């Protein structure tokens, strides 16, 4: 087993996801290829479920981490709700067999059309992010004749000590309502006839590896709950968001059940232990369930750097380019002792210097070898693009020894879909 990846291991010299050998799979289906372990996702979910045993809690998978239908189905069948950020994500939930009533709709920029679609589908809650959004949601609800269940996202102003692009709970962020405005916003929401106030939510950031930001945020949110309820506005649920980190490079985030033991103790002490709780984990449910297999196309020695050029790129794995993120990279075929390790920058074929997947990695590889990019289950395929007119990769969901293709590779026809050429203009004589 690879450290931190209990469902990924070497067996007979090749890397396996559960009981599935990645070498023949990649030979058959081509590369780049995403492969996910169903058991790994369910184990990550089980840690949260253990943490909440005996509580009134709803786990809503934050599907922007990985919105592939085959992945959504795993969580829908396990009883999860979903945290969505667009009407497109709602359509995907419904297509995967999820229930609208267990869906919460987050995001700072919901359109009127998206609100109407979500109301008509009967979603569980809108997590409203601004005072202006409240007014628009009220108007849409009145015109749709469905009262909108709302929670207000509050900004607890705690530093999750993660990458600045993925901290969301600080004053300078675009997310949520400032602490000072919270009561006034709830009073306004409670006065609007199209809205039904049901909860409060926060989400302080992503890839959080410490407990303390969660404990601090919980205290601040509970202070607000007390203030809001003292003003005569009852809240059915409290939603603590997502954000728990995973092990990318020796990171040691708390286990979900251990973290929630501490948080639930605080809730009990403060008298909120019986309240309905919601959480919105994304990355921690899927991140380390997935790998991306890629083939070495060329090795290119240089004076300052050696490059290992592979067939996956920033359009498949955008996190290094976006956040300078680290992904482990390991060979699919365990190298023979005779092959020499060379330190490479592992880069893709895209025409951007930002197109790298790993820097300064010692690898014993040659053209034709396969590599596995680790921790590729979250924020990879869901962020993938067709940049450089590259087809998006295929995806496989492994369940024991069975490999289900859950998305086929884009074809060249797919790349042209929806585009229309204007009539050719006459060439001047
Ligand atoms: C992205 C997001 C999440 C999930 O974050 P992870 O770090 O993937 O757990 C949860 N809630 C909201 C509102 C989000 O935007």
Residue of higher predicted confidence among 217 and 160: 217
Q: What is the Å distance from ligand 1's center to 118 Cα?
A: 19
Mutate to test the pocket of ligand 1, among 280, 285, 380 (most ligand atoms within 8 A of CB): 280
pLDDT in tens, 86-113: 999 999 999 999 999 999 999 999 999 9
Residue of higher predicted confidence among 429 and 262: 262
| Nearest ligand 1 atom, CA 285 | 9
Q: What is the Å distance from ligand 1's center to 283 Cα?
A: 8
Whether 427 has a pLDDT exceeding 90, the answer reads no
| Nearest ligand 1 atom, CA 153 | 13
Whether 165 has a pLDDT exceeding 70, the answer reads no
Cβ contact 122:167 at 8 Å? no
Pairing of strands 342-347, 356-363: antiparallel
Is 308 one of the catalytic residues?
no
| Nearest ligand 1 atom, CA 379 | 8
Whether 67 has a pLDDT exceeding 80, the answer reads yes
Alpha-carbon distance of 106 to 114, in angstroms, equals 11
Mutate to test the pocket of ligand 1, among 47, 63, 64 (most ligand atoms within 8 A of CB): 64
Residues with CB under 6 Å of ligand 1 are: 62, 64-65, 83, 106, 203, 206, 241-244, 280-284
* Sign of the C-alpha dihedral computed for residues 211, 217, 220 and 224 taken in this order: negative
- Domains of the chain plus CATH, in order, are 8-37+287-412 (2.40.37.10), 38-285 (3.20.20.10)
Report the pLDDT value the prediction gives residue 320, as an integer from 0 to 100.
97
Q: What is the Å distance from ligand 1's center to 62 Cα?
A: 6
In terms of Cβ atoms closer than 10 Å to its own Cβ (0-12, 13-18, 19+), residue 214 is buried
| Average pLDDT score over residue span 192-209 | 96
A 10 A CB-CB count for 181 gives 16
| Nearest ligand 1 atom, CA 106 | 13
Helices (H), 96-149: 112-121, 131-144
Helices (H), 281-411: 283-286, 319-323
Structure tokens at 327: 């992904």
Q: What is the Å distance from ligand 1's center to 190 Cα?
A: 26
pLDDT in tens, 353-393: 899 999 999 999 999 999 999 999 999 999 999 999 999 99
Percent of the chain at pLDDT above 90? 90
Mutate to test the pocket of ligand 1, among 210, 241, 375 (most ligand atoms within 8 A of CB): 241
Alpha-carbon distance of 419 to 258, in angstroms, equals 51
Range 337-343 contact pairs with CB under 8 angstroms and sequence separation of 24 or more: 339/364, 339/365, 339/366, 340/364, 342/299, 342/301, 342/306, 343/306
Nearest-CA residue for atom 10 of ligand 1: 242
| Nearest ligand 1 atom, CA 127 | 13
Whether 162 has a pLDDT exceeding 80, the answer reads no
Chain centroid to CA 304: how far?
A: 36
Alpha-carbon distance of 185 to 188, in angstroms, equals 5
* CA distance between the termini of the chain: 70
Q: What is the Å distance from ligand 1's center to 243 Cα?
A: 6
Q: Is the peptide bond before 252 cis (omega within 30 degrees of 0)?
A: no
- The catalytic position among 20, 80, 308, 351 is 351
Q: What is the Å distance from ligand 1's center to 158 Cα?
A: 16
């Amino acid at each position: 087993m690879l450290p931190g990846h209990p469902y990924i291991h070497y067996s007979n010299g090749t890397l396996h996801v559960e009981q599935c050998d990645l070498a023949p799979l990649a030979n058959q289906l081509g590369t780049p290829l995403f492969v996910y372990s169903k058991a790994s996702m369910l184990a990550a979910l089980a840690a949260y479920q253990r943490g909440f045993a005996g509580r009134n809690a709803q786990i809503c998978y934050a599907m922007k981490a990985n919105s592939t239908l085959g992945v959504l189905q795993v969580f829908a069948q396990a009883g999860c709700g979903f945290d969505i950020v667009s009407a497109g994500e709602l359509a995907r939930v419904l297509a995967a067999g999820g229930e609208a009533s267990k869906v919460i709709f987050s995001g700072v920029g919901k359109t009127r059309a998206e609100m109407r679609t979500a109301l008509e589908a009967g979603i569980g809650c809108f997590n409203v992010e601004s005072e202006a959004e409240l007014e628009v949601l009220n108007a849409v609800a009145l015109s749709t004749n469905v009262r909108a269940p709302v929670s207000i996202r509050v900004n607890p102003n705690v530093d999750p000590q993660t990458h600045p692009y993925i901290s969301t709970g600080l004053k300078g962020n675009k997310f949520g309502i400032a602490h000072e405005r919270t009561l006034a916003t709830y009073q306004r929401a409670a006065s609007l006839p199209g809205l039904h106030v049901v909860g409060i939510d926060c989400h302080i950031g992503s890839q959080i590896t410490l407990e303390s930001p969660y404990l601090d945020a919980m205290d601040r949110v509970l202070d607000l709950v007390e203030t809001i309820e003292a003003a005569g506005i009852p809240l059915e649920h409290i939603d603590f968001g997502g954000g728990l980190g995973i092990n990318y490079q020796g990171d040691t985030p708390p286990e979900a059940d251990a973290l929630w033991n501490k948080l639930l103790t605080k809730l009990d002490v403060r008298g909120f232990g019986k309240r309905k709780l919601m959480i919105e984990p994304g990355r921690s449910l899927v991140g380390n369930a997935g790998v991306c297999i890629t083939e070495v196309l060329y090795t290119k020695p240089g004076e300052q750097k050696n490059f290992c050029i592979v067939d996956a790129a920033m359009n498949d794995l955008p996190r290094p380019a976006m956040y300078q993120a680290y992904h482990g990279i390991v060979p699919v075929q365990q190298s023979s002792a005779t092959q020499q390790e060379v330190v490479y920058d592992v880069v893709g074929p895209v025409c951007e210097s930002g197109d790298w997947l790993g820097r300064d990695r010692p690898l014993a590889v040659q053209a034709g070898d396969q590599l596995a990019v680790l921790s590729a289950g979250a924020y990879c395929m869901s962020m993938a693009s067709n940049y450089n007119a590259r087809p998006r990769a295929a995806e496989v969901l492994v369940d024991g020894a069975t490999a289900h293709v859950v998305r086929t590779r884009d074809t060249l026809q797919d790349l042209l879909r929806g585009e229309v050429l204007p009539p050719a203009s006459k060439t001047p004589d």
